[in-house]
């Protein structure tokens, strides 16, 4: 896979899967735009680690539609085109239906859907219009195993990722005539700060028991799948959802 002269935007790229993805694209010759919301120190550290040149930081909160539009505008102003969009930014909020009040319930749903579903939808729309003009492009959305198995303690997260899967496959059909392919990577638990922040010690051990590998995925393993679906060689895989969960959840 060669991404030389390709311009790639990765959301939520200051750490975790986003950072690993940015590093992987840069190693293959791409110019990478690192989007982040607030962690300027981590974003700057990621930028400094990227091999090659021409990479830039883009501080925008993609959950705000005006900010999402500004992000794409900023990226086009910087690079003149967008070859690859990776929608990686996401949040997970615990909201157990039998424990919280209605205000907290509705707040969790609104924040989660705004970041995990509406933001990717808006960015897909905006990026796709530039890709249509260019006559090619690829979009990869980062979903989750939770879209299939359910998330009892954070149902909005599972629902948002299921919606992201459906959005991706709808766009795969619609954008194929424009030579734009759309794919999805659905990781299980991955060694990221978000996983560390949301798992208790007992939950972590239970999670490790779910996979025969008895470990979490490494961010680099998820990034490998993202690069594959972004490549020109994988265009006919458009609409595919790749599971990266260590056989912890197998769907038919």
Tell me which residues are annotated as active site.
157
Pair 190, 216: CB distance under 8 Å? yes
Give 150-188 as a DSSP string.
Answer: --TT-HHHHHHHHHHHHHHHHHHHHHGGGTEEEEEEEE-
- Chain length of the chain: 252
Alpha helices by DSSP H, listed for the chain, are: 16-27, 40-49, 65-79, 102-113, 119-134, 146-149, 155-175, 193-198, 201-210, 219-230
Backbone angles phi, psi at 201, to 5 degrees: -60, -40
Q: Which two structure tokens, joined as six digits, stand for 239?
A: 């609409």
Q: Report the alpha-carbon distance of residue 200 to residue 94 in Å, rounded.
A: 12
Among candidate residues 164, 154, 150, the one with its CA nearest the CA of residue 116:
164
b/e burial code for range 72-81 (CB count within 10 A of at least 16 → b): bebbbeebee
* N-terminal to C-terminal alpha carbon distance within the chain: 29
Within 8 A by CB and 6+ apart from 106, the residues are none
């Amino acid at each position: 896979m060669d991404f030389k002269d390709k311009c790639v935007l990765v959301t939520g790229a200051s750490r975790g899967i986003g950072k690993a993805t940015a590093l992987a694209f840069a190693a293959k010759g791409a110019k990478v735009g690192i989007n982040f919301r607030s962690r300027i120190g981590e974003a700057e550290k990621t930028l400094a680690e990227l091999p090659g040149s021409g990479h830039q930081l883009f501080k925008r909160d993609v959950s705000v539609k005006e900010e999402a539009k500004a992000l794409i505008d900023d990226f086009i102003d910087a690079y003149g085109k967008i070859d690859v969009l990776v929608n990686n930014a996401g949040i997970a909020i615990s909201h157990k239906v039998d424990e919280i009040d209605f205000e907290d319930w509705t707040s969790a749903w609104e924040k989660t859907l705004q970041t995990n579903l509406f933001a990717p939808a808006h960015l897909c729309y905006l990026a796709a219009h530039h890709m249509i003009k260019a006559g090619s492009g690829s979009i990869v959305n980062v979903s989750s195993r939770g879209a299939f198995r359910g998330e009892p303690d954070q149902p909005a997260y599972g629902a948002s990722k299921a919606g992201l899967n459906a959005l991706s496959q709808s766009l795969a059909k619609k954008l194929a005539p424009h030579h734009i392919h759309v794919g999805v990577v659905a990781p299980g638990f991955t060694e990221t700060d978000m996983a560390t922040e949301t798992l208790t010690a007992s939950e972590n051990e239970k999670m490790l028991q779910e996979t025969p590998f008895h470990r979490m995925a490494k961010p680099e393993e998820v990034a490998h799948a993202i690069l594959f679906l972004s490549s020109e060689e994988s265009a006919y895989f458009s609409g595919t959802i790749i599971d990266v969960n260590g056989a912890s959840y197998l769907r038919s």
